[in-house]
Amino acid sequence: MSSPGKRKLNFALAINEALTQMLESDESVMLIGQGVKSPWYVGNTCKNLIERFGEKRVIDTPVSENVTTGAAVGVAIAGMKAIVVHPRVDFAVYAFDPIINQAANWFFMSGGRSTVPVVFWLIVNRGGEQAAQHSQSFHAFFSHVPGLKVVAPATAYDAKGLMIAAINDKNPVVFLDERWLYGVEDNVPEEIYEVPIGKGIVRREGTDVTLISFSWLLHQSLKAAEQLAQQGINAEVIDIRSLKPLDEELIISSVKKTGRVVVVDGTWKFCGYSSEIISLIMENGGIDFLKATPLRVNLPDAPAPASESLEKVYYISTDTIVNSVKSLFSK
């Protein structure tokens, strides 16, 4: 056994551990979704759960995203804690009624009399020539809708801690991860712990520019920061990780310090998540403390293509981030 705090675990197994420990320690927890008993469908995030906790608490489902999701909401309304997983967020589009119309509004519509402790765990795919209907991400929309919390971990530590926090939260939480993250490995404590929803984190301190990112692109942003350091630009890198509620203070104070900001957001640009960050900075006096135009790095305004030659230019590379930052210093 590794000593506490020193054990390495990958992202997928960190989720698996969060689920295992929560199912183990709290008998009101249930997991529902397509593929939870499949040998390949949700990576190894659900390994051994059905064997261990039985078919009444861990439920693989037909291809019925709408009722599956609504049932998870109903499980929560009935006093249990539900996690519902969709192996691709695109499939959850069928289930936007229970997510948007029902769960998000529920506590408010009931005058505060009924809570919905449900986790909508939606997995984002990118690449693999899977094309437009298997590569979308709706972070901005989920964040837009009042009543939903939204988290997007980038590390194995946060994957476990945010999943546990999401399960324990009384509100519906959208947990967005990406398959590209499943191999990311870092220190993950063996015990149950929460990463607080609503708190971002500075992943790298710097003085010249703030890179704001989340999920897979955090790692690209960190790499970009290393490259930039070699070119004399000392970048601070923030991992938002809680998309809503957002840790506004962390962002504002960093950008106040550096005076420059690039938001690195792996989703579409127009009305996207990064535009909220820019607007927030401006509303908080950006006009006084910004030394350069605040920039957004996003996907192009297009559906995801299949062919690798197009995927290569569609997805965001470290180079794009580096060049974007450098453009702030060139004039």
Ligand X SMILES: Cc1ncc(C[n+]2csc(CCOP(=O)(O)OP(=O)(O)O)c2C)c(N)n1
Which residues, 84 to 123, sit near ligand X by CB under 6 A?
Answer: 91, 94
Catalytic residue among 17, 65, 178, 311: 65
- Of 154 and 176, the one with the shorter C-beta distance to ligand X is 176
Of 245, 250, 277, the closest CA to residue 261 belongs to: 277
**What angle is formed at CA 198 by the lines to CA 175 and CA 177, rounded to 5 degrees?**
20
Cα 331 to its chain centre, rounded Å, is 34
Helices 216-230 & 318-327, crossing angle to 10 degrees? 50
Supply 267's token pair.
């989703």
11 counts as binding ligand X under rule CB under 6 A: no
- Of 69 and 274, the one with the shorter C-beta distance to other proteins is 69
Catalytic residue among 134, 178, 236, 311: 134
CB of 92 to ligand X, least distance (A): 9
- Of 35 and 286, the one with the shorter C-beta distance to a copy of itself is 286
Strand order from edge to edge, sheet including 235-239: 201-204, 235-239, 209-213, 261-268, 295-299
275 counts as binding other proteins under rule CB under 8 A: no
231 counts as binding a copy of itself under rule CB under 8 A: no
122 counts as binding other proteins under rule CB under 8 A: no
Supply 141's token pair.
């929309």
Q: What are the backbone angles phi and psi of residue 318, rounded to the nearest 5°?
A: -55, -40
Of 227, 18, 257, 196, the closest CA to residue 9 belongs to: 18
Site string for a copy of itself, 285-324 (x = CB under 8 A): xxx--x-xxxxx----xxx-x-------------------
112 counts as binding a copy of itself under rule CB under 8 A: no
Residues 192-251 that bind other proteins (CB under 8 A): none
94 counts as binding a copy of itself under rule CB under 8 A: yes
Contacts with other proteins: how many residues (CB under 8 A)? 78
- Of 275 and 318, the one with the shorter C-beta distance to a copy of itself is 275
CA separation, residue 213 to residues 35, 72, 218, 259, 267 (Å): 30, 30, 5, 17, 11
Residues 291-320 that bind other proteins (CB under 8 A): 300-303, 305-310, 312-314
- Of 102 and 221, the one with the shorter C-beta distance to ligand X is 102
Site string for ligand X, 53-72 (x = CB under 6 A): ----------x-x-------
Q: Are 204 and 233 in contact (CB under 8 A)?
A: no
Q: Euclidean distance between the first and final Cα of the chain, in Å?
A: 54
User: Do strands 58-60 and 149-151 pair parallel, antiparallel, or not at all (unpaired)?
Assistant: unpaired
| Cα separation, 279 vs 232, whole angstroms | 28
CB of 95 to ligand X, least distance (A): 9
Quick count: other Cβ atoms within 10 Å of Cβ 79? 10
202 counts as binding a copy of itself under rule CB under 8 A: no
199 counts as binding a copy of itself under rule CB under 8 A: no
Q: Which residues contact 137 (CB under 8 A, 6 or more apart)?
A: 89, 124, 176, 266, 267, 268
CB of 198 to other proteins, least distance (A): 10
Can you tell me which of 16, 171, 213, 267 binds other proteins, judged by CB under 8 A?
171
127 counts as binding a copy of itself under rule CB under 8 A: no
Supply 224's token pair.
């970009």
Contacts with ligand X: how many residues (CB under 6 A)? 4
Q: Is 65 a catalytic residue?
A: yes
Binding site for ligand X (CB under 6 A): 63, 65, 91, 94
Which residues are known catalytic residues?
Answer: 65, 134
